[in-house]
């Protein structure tokens, strides 16, 4: 998993701690949006489960103020599938990342999964089509 984190850090020009947060957030989105596919991914990438748990987007604080309130409201309205994606985007934007950096980091995570089992990425996108544009899958 360290190689994935290092690749993300280099690709989007952030420190490894933020790259780990990005990877963990992406794995958390998968866990909440498509739990059956996520469990298959976690079986082939065991460290991914720990990252998803550490950076759980559904329990993370998105910050206060209007943005935090809107993110919470959107998550509640849209349910786990889209709620996790919306909350993840807000968390990562609050950390200072641009949409382009988030997409590039997501691409790296998807490529990492794809290198172990390309079919799992297809299954993930079939269950959560919004991931395709957001995470560059």
Q: What domain range is 86 assigned to? A: 2-134
* % of the chain beyond a pLDDT of 70: 80
CB 31 within 8 A of CB 43: no
pLDDT tens-digit series, residues 75-86: 443 444 457 888
> What are the tokens at 71?
């993110």
- Separation of alpha carbons 47 and 34, rounded Å: 18
pLDDT tens-digit series, residues 3-61: 999 999 999 999 999 999 999 999 999 999 999 999 999 999 989 999 999 999 998 65
Domains in the chain, number: 1
Mean pLDDT on 121-131: 90
* pLDDT value, residue 49: 97
């Amino acid at each position: 998993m360290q190689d994935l984190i290092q690749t993300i850090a280099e690709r989007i020009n952030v420190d490894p701690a933020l790259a780990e947060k990005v990877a963990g957030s992406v794995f958390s989105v998968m866990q909440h949006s498509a739990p059956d596919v996520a469990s298959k991914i976690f079986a082939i990438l065991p460290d991914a489960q720990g990252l998803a748990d550490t950076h759980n987007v559904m329990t993370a604080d998105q910050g206060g103020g209007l943005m935090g309130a809107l993110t919470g409201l959107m998550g509640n309205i849209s349910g786990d599938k889209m709620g996790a994606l919306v909350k993840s985007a807000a968390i990562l934007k609050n950390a200072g990342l641009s949409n382009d950096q988030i997409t590039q980091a997501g691409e790296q995570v998807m490529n990492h999964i794809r290198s172990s089992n390309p079919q799992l990425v297809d299954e993930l996108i079939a269950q959560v089509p919004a991931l395709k544009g957001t995470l560059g899958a």
